[in-house]
Chains A and B, each alone.
Chain A
Amino acid sequence: MNEYGSKKYIIYLIMVLAAAFFLIPLYVMLATSFKPFAEASMQTMWNLPSSISFDGILEAYARLFPQLRNSIILVVPATLISAILGSINGYILSEWQFKGSDTIFALILFGMFIPYQSILVPLVRFLQSIGLYGSLQGLIFVHIIYGLPITTLMFRNYYSDVPSALTEAAQVDGAGILKTYRHIFLPISIPAFVVVFIWQYTNIWNEFLFAVTLTSQPSQQPITVALNNLAGSQVVQWNVQMSGALLTALPTLIVYIIFGRYFIKGMLSGSVKG
């Protein structure tokens, strides 16, 4: 930093101002969440709470608990299954390329860029016809399907860096596709699985469009939909609304704080070349 001289302070000032900008919503959310009911009004929204109160958090937790649980039930299997399938796809597409496999890969990838509005009505009707519309199971299924492009991409990129000598050596030893996967690729895939798990977990937890169109009963809704309903309500106290936002954000925020490095890796591999 020394070569900056006095400009160093200007750069720090810009960085601090930027940090303040990024922290404003977090401040408002936290300050309001921990305010007692009496204080959580518009007039005092920028003030710190005069005393810490857990009333808002407890109330929001009581209201959102069923959907918080739904989100967990949704995220765990959808993340696991889309990751496992993505790993197999990525392995084949990077190690066992055949004529047309690159085209197949491109066609798979396109699926992660489409606006889901363009498949939504046929999707609703399909789920209705197999009796999964409106249920958490239906939503799990949908997240597995539309998660495949990104998980396939992430694993393919990861496996492309594995030296091809490894696959060839395995072949010489007479190992087939499945054996090579199980004995060579799967054991070295743990870092990739961590990245994919975190990425899928975060995205599925945060998702809203599928959640709001495919579930209508509160008993089947994930937390993002419940938060939107809670925050849209005129009668719910501000500290409860902000606590609801906090409860929705915390599960992904905590993972980000602990596994930030892997989260960034996942984010970067979303830009196709990684």
Chain B
Amino acid sequence: MKYKTKEKLISVGLLSPTIIGLGIFVYGFIWRTIRISTIDWNNITNMLRGIENFVGLDNFRNIFTSTRFITGLWNNIFFLIFFIIGSLTIGITLSVFLNDKPKGHFIFQNIYLFPMAISFVVTGTVWRWIFAPGTEDFPRGINLLLTNIGLENLRWGWFTSTEGIGLFNVALIAVIVAAIWQFSGYTMAMWLAGLRGIPEQLIEAARIDGASKWQIFSKILFPMQKAITLSAVILLAHIALKAFDLVYVMTGSGPRNVTDIPAVFMFETTFRSNRYSDGAAIALVLLVLVGVLIIPYLVHSFREDS
């Protein structure tokens, strides 16, 4: 569509509060954080006095040689993988069941989705209570439930456990369950929206040809929903990297950092220890990880659009 210079000016003018606002608050501030990550603001005095001594990559060296950061990074990777697998499996399964509109499907759907409407702070508070292990004599939460049904032997430390399988800290399981609980409805809703768009005749034709339910799922539905599944994976992965609230409220960094993630480490480094430059370095590592996921995703979405 062609239009006049005057209208172009009005368009840009109307967008300008947003362009300027986000220009400063997103890009300007990221630039500023990059700057902070290269100076010596690891004590409050330098920050307050505005002393900006360039230290190169020292802060990045600090964090990459910190055991806590490396542990947190691994935790975040395991968290991300199991969170995605769990949310996809549960979400996709439930969406396929719901798509056949069984009796009561509307109620079921609402039950599966309601956690999306609740704050991670609420979720974290309640799940912390459920997973709290208690003591040998006074078991709590799930351990109490296990004791009540005679399965004492299955009791363990949940998120306080410092054991690991390879690099995977088993304490993370509790956090992963809570996160899956909150987000499998998201995958379910995305898949369900996609399934509603698949023509009925296609499924019907396959059925007449004698395809089983599983064949219909694996040969027709899953391939057709590939783009949606990929979107879900990317969005869930970026949520996993940003999962500050849940971990902070539910477990914190835990004994020997078994449930720590960089987002929590950054917060404590910056606002508890006043090591602003180390905090900035951690934040930038997170930003790069999110960017690696999201930028190709955005570019791809736009290509398809135009």
Contact = CB atoms under 8 A, between A and B. Distances in A.
Interface of A: 1, 3-4, 7-8, 11-12, 14-15, 18-19, 21-26, 28-29, 42-43, 45-46, 85, 88-89, 92-93, 96-98, 101-102, 104, 106-111, 113-123, 126, 145-146, 148-149, 152, 164, 167-168, 171, 176-178, 202, 205-209, 213, 224, 227-228, 231, 238, 241-242, 244-245, 248-249, 252-253, 255-257, 260, 263-264, 267-268, 270-273
B121 A248 contact: yes
Contact of A22 (B103, B181, B232): B181
Contacts of B119: 205-208, 224, 248-249, 252
Contacts, number: 257
Interface of B: 1, 3, 7-8, 10-12, 14-15, 17-19, 21-22, 25-30, 32-33, 36, 90, 93-94, 97, 100-103, 108, 110-123, 125-130, 134, 138, 140-141, 144-145, 148, 181, 186, 189-190, 193, 207, 213, 231-232, 235, 238, 241-242, 244-245, 248-249, 263, 266-267, 270-271, 276, 279-280, 282-284, 286-287, 290, 294-295, 297-299, 301-302, 304-306
Contact of B112 (A18, A113, A122): A18
B134 to A, nearest CB: 6
Contacts of B117: 202, 252-253, 255-256, 263
Nearest to B126: A25
B29 A123 contact: yes
Given A122-B29, A177-B14, 13 more contacts: A8-B102, A22-B112, A42-B138, A45-B144, A89-B18, A114-B287, A118-B286, A119-B25, A228-B125, A244-B125, A256-B113, A267-B116, A273-B304
B260 to A, nearest CB: 14
A167 B134 CA distance: 65
A11 B102 CA distance: 9
Given A224-B121, A227-B122, A98 B12 contact: yes
A115 B242 contact: yes
B286 to A, nearest CB: 4
A207 B245 CA distance: 8
Nearest to A8: B102
A29 B123 CA distance: 10
Nearest to A176: B7
A177 B10 contact: yes
B290 A119 contact: no
B11 A98 contact: yes
